[in-house]
Amino acid sequence: MNVTIVDYKSGNISSVINSFEEVAKDKVNIEVTSDLNKIKSSDKVVLPGQGSFKSCVEALNNINGLTDILNEFAITNKKPLLGICVGLQMFADIGYEETETKGLGWIAGKVSKIDNQNGKFKLPHIGWNQINIVKDSKIFKEINNNSHMYFVHSYEFIPEDKNVISATTDYSSNIVCSVEKENIFGTQFHPEKSDTMGLKIIDNFINL
Amino acid sequence: MLKNRIIPCLDVKNGRVVKGINFVDLKDAGDPVEQAKIYSDGGADEICFLDITASNENRDTIYDVVKKTSKRCFVPLTVGGGVRSVEDINKLLNCGADKVSINTAAVENSKVVIDSSKKFGSQCIVVAIDAKKNGDKWEVFTHGGRNNSGIDALLYAEKMEKNGAGELLVTSMDRDGTQVGYDIELMSKISSRVNIPVIASGGVGNLDHLVDGIKLGKASAVLAASIFHYGKHSVKEAKDYLDSKGIPVRI
């Protein structure tokens, strides 16, 4: 099996690579590439994302044909795809970080700044927070409700259809921190930095 | 609920762990990769490496340490010390650091913080502030505490937030290595002024100091070195103690 981590120059992805290699050992081949043919023929795709919504969308668009291939992979062919952090946020129709920017439009909704309630909540939301699992998700197999995951973000994904939400976390409000829509999975937290529980989520995705 | 973080810090020199008493008189406390692994297995919420003599010595050893550590520890790794440029930050991130802390370069050239937070995102840019009390204010020191910039630390903290820092790592130069506790006044003043998380550092001698850093100093995270790596306390003991004092921690 091949799992491809999309390297679209969106910032630091070495931790994502390390964690997938740790879980995959020799059983699964982990590719790190922006090569369109390799992505197309891969069994699963991981879409990381660091920095702003705008910078990530721009970086995706900078690679000719990449969004088309991702659309084909996830929407037409319905193959498993995991978005992490801004990778998840880009599923939305639109993001409001820096300026209004169009997302991939895979899950209807928007990405807005977390309400800090006049400074009561510091932003970014950095650190370990508990996830409240609201629906069975294939990537949460053997993950206990209220497990701690590592977060670092200032913006939140607000999907229109609440049925896609698989977990929330409590920071200022109930922030959407995980989604599952058919073959599309996303985590706002960083499984690659969330110790053994995070590695288990990666393992679940690899073994889908 | 978001938990307060406990961050063991390993001072690294030439690829080996050391901890200075007021930045001099260094002792060797082992291999940083092994130490980091012990901490992450023990429940450390993040690991911090500070390359203390990086400004004037060969830096390649730290890249190797970061590379090895990031393949074995799956909690966030912050690396600082001798970071001069956007290129230095890029190199550390590529080796597997999740955040980079910038000290002297942030004082000398604010473009480093502005440019790097734009390029890599604020989430991986930590500005380290070494502050020392002078009369009724605190001044920012650079070059590992050797030079006084004369800049007011509170105003500087606000400026760094504006420039794009994702977090501030605030070290009291008066307290560092003394084990008498954090400079609570400094921590709480800076934390009240900015909307980004503050990590308290410098002066931890016992577990109550960690409690004070969070409760009184209003820090989001507490960093400590010697109380952990000379085996005085484990990270787990620290977390259990904080928990017993009603502080939310990841257990």
Query: Residue B80: which domain range?
Result: 5-244
- Our CA-based measurement puts residue B146 at a distance from the nearest CA of chain A, in whole angstroms, of 31
Is residue B189 included in any domain, yes or no? Answer: yes
Q: Do A50 and B121 touch (CB under 8 A)?
A: yes
Reported confidence tier of residue B55, pLDDT bands at 50, 70, 90: low
Is residue B251 included in any domain, yes or no? Answer: no
Q: Strand ranges (DSSP E) for B30-117?
A: 47-51, 77-80, 99-102
- Our CA-based measurement puts residue B44 at a distance from the nearest CA of chain A, in whole angstroms, of 10
Q: What is the CATH number of the domain that holds A189?
A: 3.40.50.880
Number of domains chain B contains: 1
Q: What is the CATH number of the domain that holds B160?
A: 3.20.20.70
Q: Give the C-alpha separation, B49 to A138, whole Å.
A: 36
Q: Do A22 and B71 touch (CB under 8 A)?
A: yes
Q: Strand ranges (DSSP E) for chain B?
A: 5-13, 16-21, 24-28, 47-51, 77-80, 99-102, 125-134, 137-142, 147-152, 167-172, 198-201, 221-224
Residue with the two structure tokens 């650079």 = B142
**pLDDT tens, B134-172?**
999 999 999 988 899 999 999 999 999 999 999 999 999
Q: Which of B1, B4, B167 sits opposite A130 (nearest CB)?
A: B1
Decide: B109 and B79 in contact? Cβ < 8 Å.
no
Given this model, what pLDDT does residue B137 score? 96
Number of domains chain A contains: 1
Helix ranges, B134-250 (H): 153-163, 184-193, 207-215, 226-229, 235-244
**pLDDT tens, B65-106?**
999 999 999 999 999 998 999 999 999 999 999 999 999 999
Q: Give the C-alpha separation, A33 to B46, whole Å.
A: 28
SS3 letters across chain A: CEEEEECCCCCCCHHHHHHHHHHHCCCCEEEEECCHHHHHHCCEEEECCCCCHHHHHHHHHHCCCHHHHHHHHHHHCCCCEEEECHHHHCCCCEECCCCCEECCCCCCEEEEECCCCCCCCCCCEEEEEEEEECCCCHHHCCCCCCCEEEEEECEEEEECCHHHEEEEEEECEEEEEEEEECCEEEECCCHHHCHHHHHHHHHHHHCC
Q: Give the C-alpha separation, A17 to A31, whole Å.
A: 9
Check CB contact of B167 with chain A, cutoff 8 Å: yes
Q: Do A12 and B167 touch (CB under 8 A)?
A: no
Q: Give the C-alpha separation, B27 to A111, whole Å.
A: 49
Is residue B249 included in any domain, yes or no? Answer: no
Complex ipTM value:
0.93
**pLDDT tens, B180-224?**
999 999 999 999 999 999 999 999 999 999 999 999 999 999 999
**pLDDT tens, B220-236?**
999 998 888 767 888 99
Position A96 pLDDT exceeds 70: yes
Is residue B47 included in any domain, yes or no? Answer: yes
Position B107 pLDDT exceeds 90: yes
Residues A123, A128, A131: CA angle, nearest 5 degrees: 100
Query: Residue A196: which domain range?
Result: 2-206
Is residue B129 included in any domain, yes or no? Answer: yes
Q: Which two tokens stand for residue B200?
A: 């308290």
Is residue B199 included in any domain, yes or no? Answer: yes
Using an 8 Å CB-CB cutoff, list chain A residues near B97: 12
